[in-house]
Amino acid sequence: MVKPNTQAFERNFITYYNRTYLTAKRVGLVLAWVGELLYAIWDGMYLGQYHPAFWLIILGRMLFVTPLIALVYYKTHALPVEGRLDRWLMAGVVLMGLNVLWVLHAYQSYGLLPSDSFGPVMYLMVVYFFPGLFWWQKAAFGAPFAILCVLQLNYYGYPQFLLINTSVYMLLLLVAGTFNSFAFDRYARGNFFKNQLLTQMAATDKLTGLANRYRFDETLESLISNSYQSHTGLALAFVDIDWFKRYNDHYGHMQGDICLTRVADALAHVQMPGESLAVRFGGEEFILICHPINEKDLNRWGERILQAVSSTAMPHAESDFGHVTVSAGIAYTDTHHIMSRSDLMLLADEALYQAKQSGRNRFVISPFRVPTRIKNES
């Protein structure tokens, strides 16, 4: 089995995470915006609109924090779910934290020491229980914020027993919040991994590890559509192991499975520009898809298919060639030769039939025409 690509897995997980918790993120941002507004109203009622500290606080809340929250909320609609929405959320969290420190500074600058640390503690709770960030992002900002907050309160002469209480509350919140966030992220990753694994198992042939009929049916139509939209060519090859029934009868079915696995591995590694998909279509028959590809490269592709299997050098006593070989039928489509999925497959199947009728261990490229249904022979 092919080892999963770590970077691709991380990108897919971020997409899954953003899509799953997108509504929760939007609700959280709306609540954060409402909270900032309510705190601004409370500041006005407590200080009075003519107190200079009030305008310092309004400067931070209304001119910086609330516009950024609105911008991040807009990004939840404007960014695709594949985008790094968590970075925008992190920017909002950082600015909100700096604003909390700014509010404390504004109060303390005018000798208005708060009687409790409800504001900073509430902010940490919002950070740690907000579903838009990963645990390490919360910890990376939560811990420095708590330290700066305690140092700031100590600098302005906050009572010692209240300072100790604040430090204990924040430490407990940091530990509990980090543990809870880590467990939440691990649970989300576990669910995502299980879903990915089930999807991969449903779309993979168990014996060879290639894509199976299910994935082929799901993929081919979209590949043809992409080919036409991008004005590029797509080629499909039916590949069949020559005299495979004789091989099974002579060597046994277990050796036949080994032969299928080695042929599948060889076909999966046929090198061509663009993207390739190798499919076990059934029994000893395989399908290769190459996109994008030019019509002039079809011969080179066919030769590489035959060479890849011949290079395995597996003995075949019942073959005219003495070793395992394949025959291939290739069909091609582009914007100048538009055809349906079924027509493309029928043309490739007809070409495979011609290759076998012509002696096997060769490939035939189908001309562009209306296909006729035929019965293939192994």
Q: Where are the domains of the chain?
A: 6-200, 213-365
Which pLDDT belongs to residue 5? 54
Under 8 Å CB-to-CB from 256, ≥6 apart: which residues? 244, 247, 248
Residue 315 has what pLDDT? 96
More confident residue, 84 or 165: 165
User: What's the whole-number mean pLDDT along residues 123-150?
Assistant: 85
Q: Rounded to an integer, what distance in angstroms lies between the CA atom of residue 165 and that of residue 96? A: 23
Is the predicted pLDDT of residue 126 greater than 90, yes or no?
no
Q: DSSP per residue over 129-178, as a string?
A: H-TTS-HHHHHHHHHHHHHHHHHHHHHTT--HHHHHHHHHHHHHHHHHHH
Is residue 350 scored above 90 in pLDDT?
yes
**pLDDT reading at 18 higher than 90:** no
| pLDDT over threshold 50, residue 1 | no
pLDDT top residue among 134 and 256: 256
% of residues, the chain, pLDDT over 90: 30
What does the pLDDT look like over 268-313, one tens digit per residue? Answer: 999 887 778 899 998 999 999 998 888 889 999 999 999 999 999 9
Alpha-carbon radius of gyration of the chain: 32
Q: Are 266 and 308 in contact (CB under 8 A)?
A: yes
In degrees and rounded to multiples of 5, residue 221 shows phi and psi of -60, -45
pLDDT score recorded for residue 2: 41
Report in angstroms the alpha-carbon separations of 262 from 46, 256, 313. 78, 10, 10
CA distance 234 to 231: 10
Alpha-carbon span 76 to 98, nearest angstrom: 23
pLDDT at 218: 80
Q: Is the pLDDT of residue 327 over 50?
A: yes
Q: List the strands of the sheet with 234-241, edge to edge.
A: 275-282, 285-291, 234-241, 326-333, 363-365
Q: How far apart are CA 352 and CA 370, in angstroms?
A: 16
Quick one: pLDDT at residue 3? 45
List the structure tokens of 313.
């050098």
Type of residue at 331: A
The residue-averaged pLDDT of 229-244 equals 92
The CATH number of domain 213-365 is 3.30.70.270: yes
pLDDT confidence of 246, banded at 50, 70, 90? very high
What pLDDT was estimated at residue 184? 87
Q: Tokens representing 359?
A: 């002696």
Q: CA 93, CA 145: separation in Å to the nearest integer?
A: 11
pLDDT at 222: 83
**Cβ distance 345 to 226 under 8 Å?**
no
pLDDT band at 194 (very low <50, low <70, confident <90, very high): confident
- Given the structure tokens 């939840």, which residue do they identify? 76
